[in-house]
Structure 1
């Protein structure tokens, strides 16, 4: 744990310190005008479109299926890519250069070779060292690969990228965090997962607990519009205008074929017969020609891609959230709650505004339950330094606060179905009054509120809300600590608000008085870093 903490924190300290030593600054080249392209409408002329239309009971309804299991979530994406006949619109914050990432890229390449138009949009933050791989994919006919808010230089490492963009930090600090996968204008996958081994139950050491949803029906055209807003944005560049290579197209294609071949990129294991919710793989429904889904009404929102230039509305000099932004709509749904709000955010920094929303909700006796990562479970220790400033305030408001335990998820048999040997929470969701479910990419933190762009779905379904709450109940009971004030602590006096971590296993209650599953040096390091951590940049 200490090594991970020092590694993550030290990396960013080194990036910032080194950048300050340089005065050079690279800029993006001017971009030639591009003709906009658009998502297609669903059509019975495609196999997926025919199934979608045949399954839809009402043209105003959308069909959903939650996918808590990584094996099901990845297989669904692969099935859509393999069965697509006209278009694939794919948008991700991160596609890792590992077995999962390369296998998906190869599957997209195979679809393009069948004549499918592939539009792949990636944020440029985590593409370091992947230029040749991505150029190889882009060299395939029918594939167009674009980068959101790209770095102009220093392609080999994250440090070099930020150093080369020192005087453009405000721009490159803003990233596209969206995750969306649309096939033939008929079916989609949205949620919290990036593309990489740890998101899909494919590592032996650490896996993320995450949540996606399969989507079809009335919401698909809206998702297509949201994708097009980014695809045609001036903040997006074709990879060929940012990355140069002296290799001929044929050689790039050959190297891509080798890099994504069976020797380096084995296929994923087949999904289990049923997932935690009792569903069989989506492939079974597609083979049968009829989708067994929950049909209901829903809305989708995405932040404007213009966030990259800090373009926001203001009143009296105070920035205002766009009414179409994800954060605004999550907060509005919370404010309308009548009985309870359950918030799941792996990176949780409420800030003054978030605490005020919680205070307003609790003032109406609305129950609040919050689930996030513990220090030992988080993959972003710096975020934890800011989050811990707000724990006592949330408890004082009467919120129920739970932190995921990496040790407890490792021991839990049921949580093993999430694919967690060491569990880390990555799902971003909320349940309002047991009837509205939010699933998306947004964390409840300043980065999602101000710097990153996000996407989110609001699904009006008591059944799906209950499914999510049942999954969270398992997580709380078998994989998390419940936080409370220690006996004798004064909830109103910040200096004496001592926190305890409580868990129950086998009828035995365990109470801890320090950050669970962490060592002395981890906690000491956090104490030292906490006052130095700029919350606005986390």
Structure 2
């Protein structure tokens, strides 16, 4: 699977070419009507489950208000392991919501464990954005054929479902709908523990791809804020913008048993190998989650937290009924992140793989820098990005951000490979995908939202704010590892051009580069050619 198809719903060069071809064909198809959507909500109060009892036994007793527990998951194997362990131990319910569940070793492995949970009697609800599910209908249709499982697709393509290109061709005249996507990532078990953050369920997010792999950040969540996450899932699950897989994909006369047998065939054997098990401890000194659960204890940081998700209508309702824009809606991720950023007093440290601040973002940067607040931003270099068109939008703002005093860093694939701190990348390229922020050393943001127009205008997002100096210090350290071991720092040269500084090892002199590092002439020339043609609002 091409790396530039991972991580966001922005049109890539492949998509533009597909749409151009579709103009010649002029196809269009409509979504099914009179769809039966059985309403359901979270099975509440998981306190009587094994996980619920463990959370209750671990939670602080003397807090003035109920606190939630958190453990950052910066390393890929630990993050996948945490999801699988929670699913394995679920007793009542599993709610899973992702922008991307790929039909690869990782996707099939997770789906197989959802099947096993359903066979134990656990209710499973799986909600997937339909953008990248081409060719995977037998997989999702087969899973939905099991008792206790429901599978729904957000904003689906009604025709040409076998191939990415034919989907767009069939929906050309509906482009204003189909390019709007659900970017959320969430896995909740028994309404008592969850994993959320930036990772999709794809090989590239768990160091299982030979071409490129992502540095990302998730968090394990326990306690009261999990119920808020569950309620946010329910809003999406019961919205008119999701469609049961049965309404999109016919069984073609196959019996439920035949569909289940096909699913078992697709998810068994050498095509779905066991992932590599996590090492003894991660970067923060945490053991794999199974070790804690087996010992009946949880190593968590307890703090107050808030969770937000954009309304599904943000992306898909008629314009007159979408409600307030994301930057002014109090329930949106964008509004609350901007609120905390603009309220900073000392320092902001932020990571985002796709950085296009736009007018609103630049206003925020000017505001906080005008108040004397330090601003550190880490993003992808041209060599690291999987969306080179996005880099066109980003580079328009680099010089101005540097003039405002932003400490700007770009990830170096070579330095990430050499560092090995975030895992063994071997011959694959390292790319940044984490969306996070640390504000004043006490407020942490982790979620799915990038710092770009697409996240504000076209996609739905989810985000978590954790008010914990302990978690803030840990995330500061993780971002520091990236800056020191895996990134170039940008600066303005004597004539105002961009320079990339590569720190020297030991007492040697730093290396200063004057062109986009780790790229060739053709990669840079292509951007120059495309730059005038790419509207920023669609990046």
- TM-score > 0.5, shorter chain as reference: yes
- Structure 1 residues 464, 239: CA separation in 2 closer, same or farther (over 3 Å shift)? same
**Selected match of 2:241 from 235, 245, 270:** 235
Q: Secondary structure, in 3 states, of the residue corresponding to 1:51?
A: helix
Q: How does 1:217-236 map to 2 (within 5 A)?
A: 217-236=223-242
CA distance in 1, matches of 2:213, 2:326: 37
Aligned to 1:513: 514
Q: Secondary structure, in 3 states, of the residue corresponding to 2:503?
A: strand
Aligned to 1:325: 332
Q: How does 1:328-477 map to 2 (within 5 A)?
A: 328-416=335-423, 421-477=428-484
- Structure 1 residues 100, 3: CA separation in 2 closer, same or farther (over 3 Å shift)? closer
| Offset of residue 312 of structure 1 | 6.7
| Offset of residue 146 of structure 1 | 0.3
**Selected match of 2:37 from 10, 34, 37:** 34
**Selected match of 2:171 from 141, 165, 178:** 165
Aligned to 2:526: 525
**Selected match of 1:188 from 185, 194, 203:** 194
In structure 2, the gaps of 5 or more residues are: 6-10
- Structure 1 residues 510, 107: CA separation in 2 closer, same or farther (over 3 Å shift)? same
| Offset of residue 479 of structure 1 | 0.5
The answer to whether 1:503 aligns with 2:506 is no
| Offset of residue 10 of structure 1 | 3.7
Aligned to 1:492: none
- Structure 1 residues 423, 173: CA separation in 2 closer, same or farther (over 3 Å shift)? same
CA distance in 1, matches of 2:466, 2:238: 27
| Offset of residue 22 of structure 1 | 3.2
In structure 1, the gaps of 5 or more residues are: 490-496
118-127 or 40-49, which deviates more: 40-49
Aligned to 2:16: 13
CA distance in 1, matches of 2:157, 2:221: 33
| Preserved contact between residue 327 and residue 335 of structure 2 (Cα < 8 Å) | no
CA distance in 2, matches of 1:454, 1:410: 30
- Structure 1 residues 230, 420: CA separation in 2 closer, same or farther (over 3 Å shift)? farther
Aligned to 1:51: 54
Aligned to 1:253: 260
| Preserved contact between residue 478 and residue 505 of structure 1 (Cα < 8 Å) | no
| Preserved contact between residue 69 and residue 417 of structure 1 (Cα < 8 Å) | no
- Structure 1 residues 214, 420: CA separation in 2 closer, same or farther (over 3 Å shift)? farther
CA distance in 2, matches of 1:189, 1:418: 24
Q: Secondary structure, in 3 states, of the residue corresponding to 2:449?
A: coil
| Offset of residue 320 of structure 1 | 5.5
Q: Secondary structure, in 3 states, of the residue corresponding to 2:261?
A: helix
| Preserved contact between residue 149 and residue 308 of structure 1 (Cα < 8 Å) | no
CA distance in 2, matches of 1:279, 1:248: 46
TM-score (norm 1): 0.94
CA distance in 1, matches of 2:410, 2:13: 25
The answer to whether 1:23 aligns with 2:22 is no
CA distance in 1, matches of 2:164, 2:527: 24
Q: How does 1:285-300 map to 2 (within 5 A)?
A: 285-300=292-307
512-521 or 470-479, which deviates more: 470-479
Q: How does 1:123-202 map to 2 (within 5 A)?
A: 123-202=129-208
| Preserved contact between residue 353 and residue 434 of structure 2 (Cα < 8 Å) | yes
| Preserved contact between residue 314 and residue 320 of structure 1 (Cα < 8 Å) | no
| Offset of residue 162 of structure 1 | 1.5
CA distance in 1, matches of 2:396, 2:175: 27
| Offset of residue 273 of structure 1 | 0.8
Q: Secondary structure, in 3 states, of the residue corresponding to 2:46?
A: coil
The answer to whether 1:274 aligns with 2:270 is no
CA distance in 1, matches of 2:455, 2:325: 18
Cα distance per residue 1:63-88 (max 9 Å; x no partner): 00000001000001000111101100
Q: Secondary structure, in 3 states, of the residue corresponding to 2:207?
A: coil
| Offset of residue 27 of structure 1 | 0.6
CA distance in 2, matches of 1:453, 1:419: 34
Q: Secondary structure, in 3 states, of the residue corresponding to 1:521?
A: helix
- Structure 1 residues 483, 128: CA separation in 2 closer, same or farther (over 3 Å shift)? same
The answer to whether 1:121 aligns with 2:99 is no
| Preserved contact between residue 342 and residue 369 of structure 1 (Cα < 8 Å) | yes
CA distance in 2, matches of 1:314, 1:527: 39
Q: Secondary structure, in 3 states, of the residue corresponding to 1:416?
A: coil
CA distance in 1, matches of 2:3, 2:52: 50
Aligned to 1:536: 537
Cα distance per residue 1:20-45 (max 9 Å; x no partner): 22333211111334342111223343
- Structure 1 residues 169, 498: CA separation in 2 closer, same or farther (over 3 Å shift)? same
CA distance in 1, matches of 2:320, 2:443: 28
CA distance in 2, matches of 1:427, 1:421: 18
| Preserved contact between residue 131 and residue 243 of structure 1 (Cα < 8 Å) | yes
Cα distance per residue 1:486-526 (max 9 Å; x no partner): 12x2xxxxxxx300000113133111000000000110100
- Structure 1 residues 313, 291: CA separation in 2 closer, same or farther (over 3 Å shift)? farther
Aligned to 2:8: none
CA distance in 1, matches of 2:207, 2:527: 30
499-508 or 90-99, which deviates more: 499-508
> How many residues are aligned here?
527
**Selected match of 1:284 from 287, 291, 300:** 291
| Offset of residue 53 of structure 1 | 1.6
Q: Secondary structure, in 3 states, of the residue corresponding to 2:263?
A: helix
CA distance in 1, matches of 2:190, 2:390: 38
| Offset of residue 94 of structure 1 | 0.2
278-287 or 294-303, which deviates more: 278-287
TM-score (norm 2): 0.94
CA distance in 1, matches of 2:264, 2:47: 33
| Offset of residue 308 of structure 1 | 2.6
Q: Secondary structure, in 3 states, of the residue corresponding to 2:201?
A: coil
